Amino acid sequence: MNSFEYIAVSTPQQAVSVLKAEPDRTVGLAGGTDLLDRMKDYLISPERVVNLKQMTGLEDIKRTDDGGVSIGAIARLADVVNHKDLQSRYPAIGQAAAAVATPQIRNMATVGGNLLQRPRCWYYRNGFGLLALDKDGKSLVPRGRNEYHAIFHTGGPAYFVSPSSLAPALIAYGAQVRITGPKGERTIPVEQLYTIPKGPQDRELTIQPNEVLTHVVLPPPEANTISATYEVRFKQAHDWPMSLAAVVLKTDDAKKVRSARIILGAVAPIPWHAKDAEEAIRGREISDETAARAADAATRGAQPLSENGYKVKLTQTAVKRAILLAAGKAYWKEA
């Protein structure tokens, strides 16, 4: 990689001060599991790297005054996995974090980094840009190798899939993020971190280069709420999910689903809200049949590319098994 200036900061305000001076030439470094790869591949060659890992207080996971949980952006994924309170009250998040990569990477990768990592699309990672455009301005993806690309929102121009494993679960719980920038602090829902780029100069993240994500804030869990994350991978060892589903279901006293949030990952350029699946399970008791009904509804509107039609079935399987896992069913029939 190219040489760069290295600066350590201890507060978000210091980080913003450095980042805003030359935002096009400066990047923040937390765990580095994505950034360093991109630097080594010359996808990015910053002149200045700001070490964010020494910012005090941003590694903490703690209860908020209203009974929710605040997760510092530089808390490691291993910290999430090992946090008993978080695991017991928000199981879908613990399951999502535990499935990421390997123990070695989970001990380095941060919560903020997982949310803000760039797509794993091989066109992007090989220097063809986020939209993989050729010299005529047409995407290479629909007529090239696309077995791991999107099955939703495939009308173009973006065909990559959102890579964060944590985002679907956080969105399903209604989590928010705090962001510090030159104008102070702002708070937005996690889902608003992501957008679908429309042109080659656009990014898939709404956070600005001169801003710093500082916290993820979860609302207090409601009574009679069950949740789970289930992902399908090519192999169980270190691998990226081909499809994943995070579900948060609120039930009534009769054990019927009162409301549902079902968010899909690895199937669209943004975490995908499966509204038809939510409607299909609402008002029903959880069973194999109900879960299968929601699973089928989850892929309505899918438009697979030439090589990734298999993702439709995988997504249905992920949704069905996430619902059954949330309900505490250790055994499920094949989807």
Using DSSP's 3-state secondary structure scheme, residue 216 falls into strand
Beta strands 176-181 and 184-189, pairing class: antiparallel
CA 332 to chain centroid, in Å, comes to 26
Instruction: Average the pLDDT over 122-131 and give the result.
Output: 96
CATH 3.50.50.60 holds for 5-54: no
Cα torsion for 188, 25, 33, 77, to the nearest 10°? Answer: -30
pLDDT in tens, 31-67: 999 999 999 999 999 999 999 999 999 999 999 999 9
Query: Rounded distance, CA 138 to CA 134, Å?
Result: 5
pLDDT, greater one: 239 or 335: 239
What is the structure's pLDDT at 237?
Answer: 72
pLDDT in tens, 179-201: 999 999 999 999 999 999 999 99
What is the structure's pLDDT at 191?
Answer: 98
Using DSSP's 3-state secondary structure scheme, residue 17 falls into helix
What stretches of the chain show up as alpha helix (H) in DSSP? 12-21, 35-40, 77-82, 84-89, 91-98, 103-106, 111-116, 122-125, 167-173, 275-281, 288-298, 310-326
- Residue 229 pLDDT > 80, yes or no? yes
- Residue 332 pLDDT > 80, yes or no? no
Query: Rounded distance, CA 179 to CA 314, Å?
Result: 34
What is the structure's pLDDT at 205?
Answer: 98
> How far is CA 37 from each of CA 28, 33, 242, 258, rounded to the nearest angstrom?
14, 7, 21, 44
Using DSSP's 3-state secondary structure scheme, residue 187 falls into strand
Percent of the chain with pLDDT over 90: 90
- Residue 239 pLDDT > 90, yes or no? no
Instruction: Average the pLDDT over 306-318 and give the result.
Output: 97
- Residue 334 pLDDT > 80, yes or no? no
What is the structure's pLDDT at 330?
Answer: 57
- Residue 335 pLDDT > 70, yes or no? no
Six-digit token string for 209 = 């280069």
Six-digit token string for 230 = 């289930």
CATH 3.30.390.50 holds for 225-326: yes
User: Peptide bond preceding 12: is omega within 30 degrees of 0, i.e. cis?
Assistant: no
Query: Rounded distance, CA 174 to CA 313, Å?
Result: 27
Burial class (CB in 10 A: 0-12, 13-18, 19+), 277: buried
- Residue 271 pLDDT > 80, yes or no? yes
Give the residue carrying structure tokens 């978080």: 86
Cβ(80)–Cβ(62) below 8 Å: no
What is the structure's pLDDT at 253?
Answer: 81
- Residue 116 pLDDT > 60, yes or no? yes
pLDDT in tens, 68-114: 999 999 999 999 999 999 999 999 999 999 999 899 999 999 999 99
Instruction: Average the pLDDT over 123-148 and give the result.
Output: 96
What is the structure's pLDDT at 24?
Answer: 85
Beta strands 241-251 and 225-233, pairing class: antiparallel
Domain ranges across the chain: 5-54, 225-326
- Residue 144 pLDDT > 60, yes or no? yes
Query: Rounded distance, CA 151 to CA 127, Å?
Result: 23
User: What's the mean per-residue pLDDT of the chain?
Assistant: 94
Cβ(161)–Cβ(267) below 8 Å: yes
Return the closest-CA partner of residue 213 out of 113, 128, 105, 290: 113
> How far is CA 299 from each of CA 64, 174, 266, 296, rounded to the nearest angstrom?
36, 22, 13, 6
Cβ(144)–Cβ(233) below 8 Å: no
DSSP conformational letter for 283: T
Same fold, 5-54 and 225-326: no
Does this model's pTM top 0.85? My answer is yes
Query: Rounded distance, CA 97 to CA 114, Å?
Result: 9
